Amino acid sequence: MITRRRVLLASGVSLLVTHQLGIGQPAAKVYRIGLLSGPTAESTAPLLRALNEGLRDLGLVEDRNFVFERRHADGQLERLPGLASDLVRQRVDVIVAGTNPSVAAAKRATTTIPVVMVLAADPVGAGFIDSLARPGGNITGVTVDANPEILGKNLGLLTEMVPRLSRVGVFRQTGSGSGFAAIEATARKLKVALDVVDIRDPDDIAGAFVAVTGRKVGAVIFVGDAVFYQRRQQIAELALKHRLPGIHLLKEYAEAGLLMANGPNLLDIFRRAASYVAKILRGASPADLPVEQPTRFDLVINLKTAKALGLTIPPPLLLRADEVIQ
């Protein structure tokens, strides 16, 4: 005989099992995060890991809560508009865009899908946002520069390192723009002549070193990054081959063998960008999320390279370094 008590008990057990197994529950949405990058996937792998770690810390786990849609231009920046349009066709929930060419491509491709910029320089001047405090459109994120003057400071660091430096080669990524005015202003103040070479393609780098060496420059400085990043090892080797002290904003170049780096910490920037992605996926509007500037900077000196170039590092400069590579 089936009693009312047995029916209620069976119903309760059934509900419990259904709850535990998730039967009848709507599946949680798996978000699609688009990644738009100028360099190769291999060269940017540590940065993606930092972004992934930041998302995990915020409760978003890859393949459970989201999947990445990766698009890399492999140094061929002319491919970026097509790659951005492909991400839009894939209907990703948010696009994480690297340096200025990637952000510009994403901006042209969509005005509705949120874009989190990670390595943009002077995003107001570049026309990506209205202001740091109120971005105003579908783009927000972390800018790579605290201010463009840091490139001028880096020119000053070269003059501290290289005695009687009078002529410096500037390798400028085509379309980068940001920061060059600060280099020019510092060069006038220090009475240093500049030899500018515009770089459009990674294959232009070797020829650029030959060109500036023929013009008797005493050191090199870099403006822009999407073209250079995947070739940082080659850049360091060419700088040493041509006996040219070099400086870049990013410590990864000094780790590859360039003489110095002074600028924001990339891994920290990518971890911080994860908070923007998480907020947007949880409903925040990019127009209301103020753009952050870097807070962690590294001055890195490669002592091994300095010795190979026959340079003696001034003790005050050595004391200011956050890291010295032996």
41 and 126 part of one domain: yes
- Four-CA torsion 142, 231, 247, 120, nearest 10 degrees: -20
Q: Is residue 14 part of a domain?
A: no
Q: What's the mean per-residue pLDDT of the chain?
A: 88
58 and 83 part of one domain: yes
174 and 306 part of one domain: yes
Q: Is residue 249 part of a domain?
A: yes
* Residue 57 structural domain: 31-146+266-295
45 and 171 part of one domain: no
Query: What mean pLDDT is predicted for residues 100-122?
Result: 93
Q: Is residue 13 part of a domain?
A: no
Asked whether the predicted pLDDT for residue 119 surpasses 70, the reply is: yes
Asked whether the predicted pLDDT for residue 21 surpasses 50, the reply is: no
Query: What digits encode the pLDDT tens for the residues 297-319?
Result: 899 999 999 999 999 999 999 99
- Joined tokens for residue 213: 């060496």
189 and 313 part of one domain: yes
pLDDT band at 146 (very low <50, low <70, confident <90, very high): low
Phi and psi dihedrals of 80, rounded to 5? -60, -45
52 and 156 part of one domain: no
Instruction: Name residue, tokens 């809560």.
Output: 65
Q: Is residue 4 part of a domain?
A: no
Q: Is residue 137 part of a domain?
A: yes
Q: Is residue 1 part of a domain?
A: no
Position 176 scores a pLDDT of: 58
Asked whether the predicted pLDDT for residue 244 surpasses 70, the reply is: yes
Check which CATH number belongs to the domain holding 222 and give it. 3.40.50.2300
Q: 29: which residues sit within 8 A by CB, 6+ positions away?
A: none
pTM of the predicted model over 0.85: no
Q: Is residue 10 part of a domain?
A: no
142 and 94 part of one domain: yes
Q: What is the distance between the alpha carbons of residues 17 and 56, in angstroms, rounded to a whole number?
A: 29
288 and 307 part of one domain: no
Position 189 scores a pLDDT of: 94
Q: What is the distance between the alpha carbons of residues 45 and 249, in angstroms, rounded to a whole number?
A: 19
| Higher pLDDT among residues 7 and 310, named by residue | 310
92 and 166 part of one domain: no
pLDDT band at 172 (very low <50, low <70, confident <90, very high): confident
pLDDT band at 296 (very low <50, low <70, confident <90, very high): confident
- Joined tokens for residue 143: 């800018």
205 and 125 part of one domain: no
Query: What mean pLDDT is predicted for residues 70-88?
Result: 94
User: How many domains, in total, are found in the chain?
Assistant: 2
Q: Is residue 3 part of a domain?
A: no
211 and 313 part of one domain: yes
Position 173 scores a pLDDT of: 78
206 and 308 part of one domain: yes
Asked whether the predicted pLDDT for residue 13 surpasses 70, the reply is: no
| Higher pLDDT among residues 177 and 325, named by residue | 325
